[in-house]
Chains A and B, each alone.
Chain A
Amino acid sequence: MNYAYMPGCSSHSSSRDYEMSALAVLKALGVQLEEIKDWNCCGSTPVSSVAPVTSMALSARNLALAEEAGYREVVVTCSSCYSMLKRAETYYRNDPAAREMMAGALKTMGRQFEGMVTVKHILELMVYHLGPERLAAAVTKPLKDVKIVPYYGCLLGRPQKAFDDPETPTSMDEALRITGAEVLRFDRKSKCCGGSVMLTKQKAVLRLVEEILWEAADRGADVIAVACPLCQLNLDAYQTRVNAEFGTSYRIPVLYFTQVLGIAMGLDKKHLALGKTFVPAGRVVNI
């Protein structure tokens, strides 16, 4: 089974570990992702915050490229890319004015989009399309005595509700439960991590991150599993700074859910890029 794949900017830089583990896990499940040739920025925060409509044209170009290459589905790992591409897809189908704008922009590039491509997040692909049975069959080294909180971040169900509930999503819970780990209740599973505001209003965002870390620690989580590069960065790289700011002593590894799945599937740790986190993955990796 082959799907078009939109990596997004972070997959080739800060979240190389997400991409590597996602590709490895999918390969083990018999799914091949093929990178869209000449893909461009999804139009996320830097563009959409100043030109929300035009930013959709950027996403539309990626969809048009996938369509031209003969794909019907684009798989996305990054939540922000997912939100942007899904928005372009939805508006293209349902909003005549936005469709006209996107079509016009594509025309200047000598391209067109027929609206035949559907955007899927990798969580959606794994849990709702490949299905739990297929994931379960691939688990060879079930995780024992590991407590995980699933942290979805804000963008998977927003701005439009797509494959999971915006407030209480459950798809990652389901995927993680298959690994044998104990998946804990996590009330802040869809709270905002602060995203890129970390760069401009750090104090405000550290408060958001602290609250998420607090609940994870309070519930006794060994790992926070995430599905978004920016969530991973904010929760992992800023833990030291949170501790300095609030006098706390959090030290919770933040892994992509694909890495957790990969461990349980017994995949080669090199392919899961487990050594890239600021807070070492420690105990979970050594199982």
Chain B
Amino acid sequence: MPDVRIGVYVCHCGSNIADKVDCAGVAEFAGGLPKVTIARDYQYMCADPGQDLIRKDIKDHKLNRVVVASCSPRMHEPTFRKTLESAGLNAYFFEMANIREHVSWVTEGREQATEKAKALVAAAVARVFYHEPLYERFADMNKRTLVVGGGIAGIEAALKIAASGNQVVIVEKEPSIGGNMAKLDKTFPTLDCSACILTPKMVAAAQDENITLYTYAEVEKVEGYVGNFQVTIRKKARSVDMDKCTGCGICYNKCPAKVPNEFDEGLGMRKAIYVPFPQAVPNKPVIDRQNCTYFQKGKCGVCSKVCPTGAVDYAQEDQLVTEDFGAIIVSTGFETLDPTLGPQWGYGRYDNVITALQFERLVNASGPTQGKVVLKDGTVPKRVAVLHCVGSRDLNFREYCSRFCCMSSLKLAHLAKEKTGGEVYSFYIDMRAFGKGYEEFYNRVMEEGIHFIRGKGTEVIQRAGELFVRTEDTLLGKYREVPVDLVVLNVATVPRADAEKVAQTFGIQRSPDGFFLEAHVKLEPLKTATDGVFIAGGCQGPKDIPDSVSQGAGAAAEALSLIEAGKVKISPVVASVDEARCGGCKACLALCPYGAVDFDDEKKVAVVNEAVCKGCGTCAASCASGAMGVRHFTDEQILAQIGEVLAV
């Protein structure tokens, strides 16, 4: 090994580090460590003068290893690696000691902090001695993008990518795209009709020659890695030949089997062969085999008989197709909390307690009552209560705020007033009108004469046929029971029931609230732990329409920046096999969470697919013969580091 010459740079980070750590003292200490040629402390190592200092020292002092003691490598490791490269050194001859997050921000005494900083610097110096040059590689980028979930976020992402001339496939598990937004009547704060602003985008997606729609389809399996995903998609049997069907609607008009309509939140009925809603895209029916008389009892066949084009195909089977993609956008949306979980809200107990989405269907002209707000007995309610935060901001259910719930509750209150002309009560904890035009909308609704009661609607009871909402009115400082005819529960926004399965399929992590986890809460809201897999919309957390659209467009930009680069960088920090030592036990194959280890049947040894490997080290830790290792995390590097931390 040529003579090792290490440079150590201790950063003050303004006062962030220097307030707690004696930086000059640490630098002086580092100067006395073996193989250290030069050690300095400086105000801001990440600034240009700081980097210039390193470059100059590499030249003047012939340094071939560099240690920077500053912040978390998550922030500036790439910065300093580039500094080394620009000075002609391999980027991996660099090591970072984190004396900010791990020392100055969390240690109380100055003396203790300085001691800990010294220990971490000594460890980094010991480690960098063993560093080896590593080289990044590049793989080709497939230009096709998969969008999973055809709600407003997914549609927006697909349209933006398609506009750039690149190919997109939307996989939607329902028979139509549109998502939750398609169920809404009006949208806040402008009160424009939801369908009127959504359907043009749905139609545009269907007509765009760069977009392929797979509705009534689900992703089964994802293999490969960024730039080169192989995705298996199950196209569920629609029982209707999409090419022959003209969407005339005779089949569902004649179908005798009636089923509660999930699009109308169970309020109305649909047929067993159905189109979920009038503006569905594609506007072609599907047979719900569970509820179809022909499929359950073997007779009926009415739809087949009446179809003028012979499009009904009972023999159709699920189809599995595997396609290649370079990037994936997951926009699978959200659900709402099951209101029967809180019996105190009265849902399921009392007829006239409904959810916000049910109310949306009631006021919608294409809904089960053609837009009339009526009670179970068909009469118009004279008093309507809208309850905010049902299950949200509640440690018994969901701790988080459902974000758009205040504004949608205001909209529902407005619609209730408009449709019934009765008294409308809004029960809220705090009014969160945070967005553009939202406070103005709140003021407008207040002027409409809605009764705002600052108190959580904690309980709905029925007595002698009359409903009462119980609350502690925190403005009056009084307990109140408000008699009403209809209660609308704005229940919490929750992750979809299959979120865990979807997360596993795409290698996405979940935050404690169950939603999909972004790579960085502030700076990387659309990326995930898996390169090339992005998230957008309500699957990441409760979001209103403007936010979902922004995220859809943002995810498209993420995908396009990969596509336009044309290549993807593959990190050299991956596992590697010492073939001479590998016993071929295959233990690592089963343990690898990314499926990155294969087996060479001829040589009887494990083989690492470097493009898929994340360098997590699970295989190396489990390898009985010590054949598996992870580059840049070798035993001697880590043991040297640990040895120094414990020695000081």
Q: Which residues of A contact B (CB under 8 A)?
A: 167-168, 187, 211, 214-215, 218
* CB 8 Å contact bits of B321-365 with A (1 = contact, 0 = none): 000000000000000000000111000010000000000000000
Question: Which B residues lie within 8 Å of A215 (CB)?
Answer: 463
Given contacts A167-B342, A167-B344, A211-B461, 10 further A-B contacts (CB under 8 A): A167-B343, A168-B343, A187-B343, A187-B349, A187-B461, A187-B462, A211-B463, A214-B463, A215-B463, A218-B464
* CB 8 Å contact bits of B436-461 with A (1 = contact, 0 = none): 00000000000000000000000001
Question: Which A residues lie within 8 Å of B463 (CB)?
Answer: 211, 214-215
Question: Which B residues lie within 8 Å of A214 (CB)?
Answer: 463
Question: Which B residues lie within 8 Å of A211 (CB)?
Answer: 461, 463
B535 to chain A, nearest CB (A): 34
What's the tally of chain B residues with a CB closer than 8 Å to chain A? 8
Question: Which A residues lie within 8 Å of B343 (CB)?
Answer: 167-168, 187
Q: Which of B448-507 contact A (CB under 8 A)?
A: 461-464
Chain A: which residue is nearest B344 at the CB level? A167
Q: Which of B216-251 contact A (CB under 8 A)?
A: none
Q: Which residues of B contact A (CB under 8 A)?
A: 342-344, 349, 461-464
Chain A: which residue is nearest B349 at the CB level? A187
A153 to chain B, nearest CB (A): 16
Question: Which B residues lie within 8 Å of A167 (CB)?
Answer: 342-344
Question: Which A residues lie within 8 Å of B342 (CB)?
Answer: 167
**A218 vs B349: C-alpha distance when bound (angstroms):** 15
B458 to chain A, nearest CB (A): 12
Which 10 A-B residue pairings sit nearest by Cβ, starting from the closest? A167-B343, A168-B343, A187-B349, A167-B344, A214-B463, A167-B342, A187-B461, A211-B463, A218-B464, A187-B343
A25 to chain B, nearest CB (A): 29
A213 to chain B, nearest CB (A): 12
B272 to chain A, nearest CB (A): 33
**A229 vs B464: C-alpha distance when bound (angstroms):** 29
Chain A: which residue is nearest B463 at the CB level? A214
**A168 vs B342: C-alpha distance when bound (angstroms):** 9
Chain A: which residue is nearest B459 at the CB level? A191
**A187 vs B347: C-alpha distance when bound (angstroms):** 12
**A168 vs B343: C-alpha distance when bound (angstroms):** 7
**A215 vs B463: C-alpha distance when bound (angstroms):** 8
A242 to chain B, nearest CB (A): 15
Question: Which A residues lie within 8 Å of B349 (CB)?
Answer: 187
For this complex, 13 residue pairs linking A to B, each with C-beta atoms less than 8 Å apart, are: A167-B342, A167-B343, A167-B344, A168-B343, A187-B343, A187-B349, A187-B461, A187-B462, A211-B461, A211-B463, A214-B463, A215-B463, A218-B464
Chain A: which residue is nearest B464 at the CB level? A218
Question: Which A residues lie within 8 Å of B344 (CB)?
Answer: 167
Chain B: which residue is nearest A165 at the CB level? B343
Chain A: which residue is nearest B350 at the CB level? A187
**A144 vs B461: C-alpha distance when bound (angstroms):** 31
A157 to chain B, nearest CB (A): 12
Chain B: which residue is nearest A167 at the CB level? B343
Question: Which A residues lie within 8 Å of B462 (CB)?
Answer: 187
Question: Which B residues lie within 8 Å of A218 (CB)?
Answer: 464
**A72 vs B357: C-alpha distance when bound (angstroms):** 51
Chain B: which residue is nearest A204 at the CB level? B479
A209 to chain B, nearest CB (A): 14
Chain A: which residue is nearest B346 at the CB level? A187
**A187 vs B467: C-alpha distance when bound (angstroms):** 13
Question: Which B residues lie within 8 Å of A187 (CB)?
Answer: 343, 349, 461-462
Chain A: which residue is nearest B462 at the CB level? A187
A128 to chain B, nearest CB (A): 21
**A187 vs B349: C-alpha distance when bound (angstroms):** 8
**Most B CB atoms within 10 A — which of A168, A211, A214, A218?**
A168
**A211 vs B462: C-alpha distance when bound (angstroms):** 11
**A284 vs B625: C-alpha distance when bound (angstroms):** 77
Chain B: which residue is nearest A168 at the CB level? B343
**A211 vs B461: C-alpha distance when bound (angstroms):** 10
Chain B: which residue is nearest A187 at the CB level? B349
**Most B CB atoms within 10 A — which of A187, A211, A215, A218?**
A187
**A211 vs B464: C-alpha distance when bound (angstroms):** 11
B478 to chain A, nearest CB (A): 13
A268 to chain B, nearest CB (A): 39
Chain B: which residue is nearest A214 at the CB level? B463
**A71 vs B175: C-alpha distance when bound (angstroms):** 61
**A211 vs B343: C-alpha distance when bound (angstroms):** 17
B341 to chain A, nearest CB (A): 9
A214 to chain B, nearest CB (A): 7
**A168 vs B340: C-alpha distance when bound (angstroms):** 11
A133 to chain B, nearest CB (A): 29
Chain A: which residue is nearest B342 at the CB level? A167
Question: Which A residues lie within 8 Å of B461 (CB)?
Answer: 187, 211
**A187 vs B348: C-alpha distance when bound (angstroms):** 11
B322 to chain A, nearest CB (A): 46
A180 to chain B, nearest CB (A): 26
Chain A: which residue is nearest B341 at the CB level? A167
**A187 vs B350: C-alpha distance when bound (angstroms):** 10
Question: Which A residues lie within 8 Å of B464 (CB)?
Answer: 218
**A214 vs B344: C-alpha distance when bound (angstroms):** 17
**A269 vs B185: C-alpha distance when bound (angstroms):** 64
B366 to chain A, nearest CB (A): 35
B222 to chain A, nearest CB (A): 39
